[in-house]
Structure 1
Amino acid sequence: MHQKHILLIDGMALLFRSFFATAISNQFMINRHGNPTNAIQGFLRHSLTAIEQVQPTHVTVCWDMGQQTFRNEVYEQYKANRQAAPVELIPQFDLVKEISAHFSFANIGVSGYEADDCIGTIAQMADEETKVSIVSGDKDLLQLINDHVEIWLVKKGYGEYSRFTHSRFLDEYGITPSQFIDVKGLMGDTSDGYPGVRGIGEKTAFKLIRDHHSIDGIIENLHLLTPSQQKKIEADLEMLHLSRKLAAIHCEVPLPENIYNEWSGVPAAVNEIIDHHELKTVRRFLGSYSSFMGSQT
């Protein structure tokens, strides 16, 4: 019997990446119904390429469900610096879920939580006999790594990944994945809109956590830090704790009962959906990978 192997796909990360890869040259791939499909087609190519390399037994795509989450209740400026989605992308948000369901992907999204939280919850629920591979472009997910959970960070193009196992993470960063949350708390995240400790950058944050193991350890040994570091941390102590809370992936999301679908290939019936939405790039892609075609239902 094959080992159970769950592939978790960060749907929104791949959708946005796919949209902007072609939108820069105004290739929105508008079909005869007037719907742009560039993000959807890129998302499907990314997902199917990952499936080809990971060879999972089950596939789930996790989605954000709107901009407001519990983090906005904690800190109202969370992701407030994000621009509104381009008008050509907006109609693809719902359509991509509909189409991905036809490809036998389970779609998971819970209001009030981010896709990262759903991914983290599913990954933590998996027993030690189950392998979990997570595909995303978001380094925040590195905190989820353990002996049976690995992260595949998408690089430029299709099929190129920076694959992080537990051993690689330890060797490369010199901290544990859970300590990565404290690093993020210190350095903040400009893309997510929380500052951490002003004046503490990535290099210093990693060194402080390597030396003192945690934010609590740093605060307990504040007298050992340089005067400049002491001053910065004391000035932003409240924001430091808040930033750490925002950086941590919430792994107790109330998920629906069915959280992943068994993967046995792309159903042949998907050709009808491809034709209806004129997903020409996807059709060509599938045509070159006959191994994708599984169930005939």
Structure 2
Amino acid sequence: MSEKKLLIVDGMALLFRGFFATSFTGNYMLNSKGVPRNGLFGFLNYFTDAIHTFDPSHVICCWDMGSKTFRNEMYDGYKANRSAAPEELIPQFDLAKEMVEAFQVPNIGVVGYEADDCIGTLAKQLQNEYQVIIVSGDQDLLQLVDEQIQVAIMKKGTGNYDVFSNDNFYEKKQLSPKQIIDLKGLMGDSADNYPGIKGVGEKTAIKLLKEFETIDRMLEERSSLTKGMQKKLEQYEEDLTISRKLAEILTEVPLDFSAETAVWKNDHDQIVRYLQEELEFHNTDRWLKKLSKELA
């Protein structure tokens, strides 16, 4: 295993999580210019905690670049059930990226692709040279777990992660990482608004994958299924096909990236200057203490 450790942060997940953790109170933490900062505050808590916890030598942050991607071209209804981002969150997107730049961490995003696809592409490109750790709240990313790729799912609170690796994956999920794609294909995803097979939940989907391993094999051997399931396949096979495609994270996004730009520098002076002067976060010790043991 490589001693070099590369942390890939799902910027969208951390910012949304930080925003909604505080917005329910109505406290958007406006600065002197009236700009909300509550999502940024939460992002900083999660971001610095991830660096403190996983002690990386390199750090990358990935973002969505607009609401439309190639998946919307594949399926009109993809994420169509999602409401627009709260107006208080909108100005915090660009500020979050600026803040990441102040940490001298590269922001990665490609128009037409989701952050997940950039994360998957980078993880697969770099897994031979680095121990890759992906931090997110999105369990879709579990399909990326591989040799030298771990996925740390954020749990309630700060500093609480469920870390998935090749060694513990089957014990935790009763499936292999690659089977997560077929699992979501069978179940669909109400959050992303794609259908799967109507009436098939997680328990049934896992049972089918344990028996057949893949959707392809299940379709080849459909005669061995119950009459009810055969009927469902006949009725929803088109939905199954598109759902499986939508569930799969693309790992060949056209991006040009050098890991040397991601070396974790931990420049306290630059970080403090940005947080205090640009964002008006004056009590920066809470974040710097988490970074104090890191590589200078």
TM-score range, shorter chain: over 0.9
Q: Which secondary structure state, in structure 1, belongs to the residue aligned with residue 269 of structure 2?
A: coil
* Displacement after TM superposition at 1:290 (Å): 5.9
* Equivalent residue number for residue 268 of structure 1: 269
CA contact (8 A) 2:48 2:291 kept: no
CA contact (8 A) 2:57 2:295 kept: no
TM-score normalised by length of structure 1? 0.94
* Equivalent residue number for residue 88 of structure 1: 88
Output the amino acid matched with 2:265. Answer: S
Output the amino acid matched with 1:6. Answer: L
Residues 233-252 of structure 1 aligned to structure 2 (within 5 Å): 233-252=233-252
Decide which of 260, 278, 281 is 2:280's aligned counterpart: 278
Structure 2: gaps spanning 5 or more residues: none
Matched, 1:193 2:172: no
Residues 281-296 of structure 1 aligned to structure 2 (within 5 Å): 283-289=284-290, 291=292
**Structure 1 residues 129-173: Cα deviation after superposition (integer angstroms, max 9, x where no partner):** 420000000000000001210010001111000111112112222
* Equivalent residue number for residue 32 of structure 2: 32
**Structure 1 residues 251-270: Cα deviation after superposition (integer angstroms, max 9, x where no partner):** 11111334551013243122
**Structure 1 residues 102-123: Cα deviation after superposition (integer angstroms, max 9, x where no partner):** 0121100100000000000000
Alignment length (residue pairs):
293
Measure, in 1, the Cα distance between the counterparts of 2:45 and 2:19.
12
Measure, in 2, the Cα distance between the counterparts of 1:294 and 1:164.
25
Q: Which moves more between the two structures, 219-228 or 131-140? A: 219-228
Structure 1: gaps spanning 5 or more residues: none
Output the amino acid matched with 1:71. Answer: R
Q: Which secondary structure state, in structure 2, belongs to the residue aligned with residue 269 of structure 1?
A: helix
**Structure 1 residues 18-70: Cα deviation after superposition (integer angstroms, max 9, x where no partner):** 10000000111110121101111111110110111101110000000110000
Q: Give runs of ≥4 in structure 1 deviating > 4 Å.
A: 292-295
**Structure 1 residues 80-128: Cα deviation after superposition (integer angstroms, max 9, x where no partner):** 0001000000000111101110012110010000000000000010143
Measure, in 2, the Cα distance between the counterparts of 1:176 and 1:115.
23
CA contact (8 A) 1:266 1:294 kept: no
- Percentage identity across paired residues of the two chains: 47
Residues 46-61 of structure 1 aligned to structure 2 (within 5 Å): 46-61=46-61
Q: Which moves more between the two structures, 159-168 or 257-266? A: 257-266
